[in-house]
Amino acid sequence: MATEYNTMEMMICVASRYLEDGKTVAVGTGAPCAAAMLAQKLHSPNLIILFEAGGVAPLLPQMPISVGDSRTFYKAVMAAGMSEMMTTCARGQVDYAFLGGAQIDKYGNINSTLIGDYYTPKVRFPGSGGANDFASFCWRTMIMTVHSKARFVEKCDFITSPGFLTGGNAREEAGLPEGGPYKIITDLAVMGFHPETKEMMVESLNPGVELAQVKENTGFELLIADDIGRTEPPTEEELRLLREEVDPLRLVIGRA
């Protein structure tokens, strides 16, 4: 009988598989941190984890509750701060970063600032923090999010974190380095981006999900990969490590 798992566990396990050994990844607390910890424990022992306001390359004993938690410094090579982290990104020394937001469009631009008009918004969010720097300078950005039309929109009300802007070569023409959005991991599918148009493209469907369901929950037309596949579900070993060593208190993954 297959091991049961919830959607958060699914997304964390899938995200962890993209973090290769020896790479650097900037994470926040929560699901991105869990994905990095899982990768480090399972297949990427030399993964270098960096925190926006914490340690560099710690060997995390357990899930921190914030990016400045003392656990982010555990056996780290350096106690860093915002200025060190952002200059490291600007030097091109960070391979991966995880971002989130209220809205994302088909070119991977992210809005975490407001909903509605800028001067008279319906909702105002905390804003960028370090997200603009991460999206601008890290080589690859990944997003884990629930898949809904409210999040996947035709046009962001405000671009907090740049993706591929208007597509094609717009990112480079704006003076940003190559790279940008890499994988969008949701509770329904995994998406990448077309190499030329830079439009969002469905690459694999999660177990039990059909393409029509993904389209119904997206506010723009998605490209479909020629060889669209099925996302591999979490393995027993991934779930064991995630539940017993990464997040035994179920702070992020909740109850399966």
The two tokens of residue 21 are 């050994």
Query: Do residues 65 and 41 lie in contact, with contact meaning Cβ atoms separated by under 8 Å?
Result: no
- Work out the mean pLDDT of the chain and round it to a whole number: 93
229: phi then psi, degrees, rounded to nearest 5? -125, -160
Domains and CATH numbers, the chain: 7-246 (3.40.1080.10)
106 near 154, Cβ under 8 Å?
Answer: yes
Give the side-chain half-sphere CA count within 13 A for 64. Answer: 26
Res. 106: pLDDT tops 90: yes
**Could you give the percent of the chain with pLDDT greater than 70?**
98
Average pLDDT, integer, range 116-120:
95
DSSP states along 28-69: -SSHHHHHHHHHHHHT-TT-EEEETTSEES---SS--SSTT-
| Catalytic residue positions, numbered | 52
Question: Average of pLDDT values for 200-210?
Answer: 97
pLDDT at 252: 92
pTM, 2 dp: 0.94
Question: Which residue stretches of 51-162 are H helix?
Answer: 82-90, 131-137
